Amino acid sequence: MALRPIVKEGEEILLKKSRPVEAFDDRLGQLLDDMAETMYAADGVGLAAPQVGILRRVCVIDIGEGLLELVNPVVTAQSGVQETLEGCLSSPGKCGITRRPKKVTVTYQDRTGAARTITGEDLLAKALCHEIDHLNGILYATHVIRWQEA
Ligand code: CO
């Protein structure tokens, strides 16, 4: 495992769309391991591959309930609204209140390629939306309704 540098806001790669993962190999496993280590070291709750310079549809999330590894995630259902504080490891020292769905269902693949589904509410729903946005080149600022002093 290895820490990878986190790309900061202003870098063009964060605005690009990531490509689907097709090979569920050791290289993917290494990327997932490194992303988890990098996320934990930065005290984050989520990290997407473009944030470590890789334009692949991969993200990791841990809201304190264990590590989630999501490959090729897609939001398949959403409901409700939440307006809560949100930030991003690529934008240190900034945060804002965003408007997000309160509940989302996401289909994805695990590191072996097996199909999985997860439904998350509140913080998990926000994290899922935030990380999947990264895979589409969308930053959370798009969803900010009110900036806050960090
Ligand atoms: Co982010």
CATH 3.10.450.50: does it fit domain 12-148? Answer: no
> Which residue ranges make up each domain of the chain?
12-148
pLDDT tens readout for residues 108-146: 999 999 999 999 999 999 999 999 999 999 999 999 999
pLDDT (tens digit per residue) in 91-110: 999 999 999 999 999 999 99
Query: How many angstroms separate the CA atoms of 108 and 111, rounded?
Result: 10
The alpha carbon of 44 and the centre of ligand 1 are apart by a number of angstroms equal to 9
- The answer to whether residues 133 and 88 touch, using CB atoms and an 8 Å cutoff, is no
- Please, is 13 exposed, middle or buried when counting C-beta atoms within 10 Å of its C-beta (0-12, 13-18, 19+)? middle
- pLDDT over 90 (residue 1): no
On the question of pLDDT at 149 being above 80, the answer is no
**pTM of the entire structure?**
0.97
Number of residues assigned to the chain: 150
pLDDT of residue 150: 60
22 catalytic, yes or no? no
Measure 114 CA to ligand 1 centroid, in angstroms.
Answer: 25
